[in-house]
Structure 1
Amino acid sequence: MTDTGDGTTILFAEPGARWRSVAYGPLLCLIVLILELVTTAQVHWFALIFCAALIAGFVVLQVIAGQRHVSVELTDTALREGTETVPLAAIDAVLPERDEDSWDDEDWESARSLGELNGVPRRRKAIGLRLVDGALVQAWAKDHRGLRAALTTALGGADQAEDVDRAAPNTEETEHSENGADR
C-alpha cells in the first residue's frame, strides 16, 4: 500500500507499460555497434543511430498509450481502469470467478469492460463486478487475483464474499455432468 499526495492510499496498481522498455531497442543497436567494432567489419554509424532513435521514438508512444489506456489503480476511494474511474461506493459486489468446468458463460462475461477500450485488453483477465444500480461490468488486470483480493478487501472483505456465495444457487446436488461420469 502506498500513500499518494492527496491523502488516498493505493491498494493495487499496474502501470500498463514501463519506461524501461524504451531502452531495449537502443541497447540492441549498441550491441550490434560493438559487434561491428570488434569484428572489424564496416561500422554503420548513421544506420545504427537512426534505428536506435526510431525504435525508441515508437516505443515512447506505446508506453504513453499503455500507461493511459491499460493501467489499473485501486485506491481506498476509487477503481481506475484505463481512462475510466469508478468510485468504490458505486460497486456493490465482486462476482465469483468463472468456473472453468462449466459449459455456460457467466452473465458478467458479456458485460461491457471498464475503460474506453472495446473489450478486455490483451494479456489481461476479466473480473465481474456488480454495480449498485444492478449493472454488470468487467474490471481487468494482469494480476487479476491480486486485483480481486484487493477489491474484495476494499469493499468490505469476507462479508461481501459470503453475500455473493449465498446469492449463487447450489447446483452441485441437482445437476450432473453431461457425460454422466458423476452418476
Structure 2
Amino acid sequence: MSEAINAPGAVLFSEPGARWRTIAYGPALCAIILVIELFRGGDIHRFGLVFCGVLLAGFVWLQVIAGKRHISVELTAEQLREGTEVVPLRDIAEVLPEDDEESWDYEDWQSARALGELTGVPRRRKGIGLKLTDGRLVQAWARDHVTLRAALTEALGHPRGTDDEPREAL
C-alpha cells in the first residue's frame, strides 16, 4: 500500500461530483411515457414528449457540468483537489479529529473556510478539519468523508520518498 501512496499521480481517493448517466433519466422517462401512449391508443404527444426530453436533458447536462467542476474531490500522492481548489499535501500539517456528535460545542475547524470556491460545505457532504502548515484551519469535504479522512491521514503519514517513518507534525 505504501508503494501506491508514493507513486506520483496515483489517485488515492476520488468522487466525481456528478455522473453523466443522470442526463438520460429525463429522456428515458419521456420515452416510457411515449411507449405507454402508443399501447394505450388515442392521442400521441410526440412533439411534447421529445421537447420535454430534450429540455430535461439540457438542464441536467448543465448541472452535471457544474457538479463535475465544483463538487468533485480527488486526492493524489501530491495534492488534494476540492472542486476547483488544489492544496498540495506538503501544505497540510494535520487532519484534525472528527467532531464529537454528543458534544454541544463546535470545534474551531467547523466554522473554518471550506475548500473550493463554494461558500460552504456542499449539501450531502461532510466536512473534515485540516490544519495547514501556516496555522490556518480549513475544511475539506466529501460524501464519503470516512474514506477521505483515512486516505488523507495515510497520505500525510507517509512522506513521498520514504516508506518507514511517518511525517512529523509541524
Q: TM-score, normalised by structure 1?
A: 0.83
Deviation at 1:159, TM superposition (A): 5.1
Runs of 4+ in 1 over 3 A off after TM superposition: 157-160
Higher radius of gyration, 1 or 2: 1
Write the mapping of 1:20-99 to structure 2, written as runs, cut at 5 A. 20-99=21-100
Alignment correspondent of 1:13: 14
Unaligned runs of at least 5 residues, structure 2? 159-164
The structural deviation recorded for 1:101 is 1.0
CA RMSD of aligned residues (A): 1.9
Quick one: which amino acid aligns to residue 134 of structure 1?
A: G
Cα displacement string for residues 30-80 of structure 1 (whole angstroms, at most 9, x for unaligned residues): 000000001002100000000000000000000000000000000000000
Within 2, Cα distance between the matches of 1:153 and 1:47? 54
* 1:154 is the counterpart of 2:146: no
Per the alignment, in what secondary structure is the counterpart of residue 44 of structure 2?
coil
Counterpart in 2 of 1:104?
105
Q: Secondary structure at the match of 2:37?
A: helix
CA apart distance, 1:136: 0.2
Structure 1 unaligned runs (5+)? 164-183
Question: Which amino acid is 1:137 matched to?
Answer: V
Q: Specify the code of the residue in structure 1 equivalent to 2:22.
A: S
Deviations 1:109-131 (A, max 9, x none): 01000000000000000000000
What SS does the corresponding residue of 1:61 show, helix, strand or coil?
helix
TM-score, with normalisation over the residues of structure 2?
0.89
Structure 2 CA distance for aligned equivalents of residues 20 and 67 of structure 1: 13
Q: Which amino acid aligns with 1:96?
A: P
Count of aligned residue pairs for this structure pair: 158
Task: Determine which structure has greater relative contact order: mean sequence separation of CA pairs < 8 Å that are 6+ residues apart, divided by chain length.
Answer: 2
Map of 1:138 onto structure 2: 139
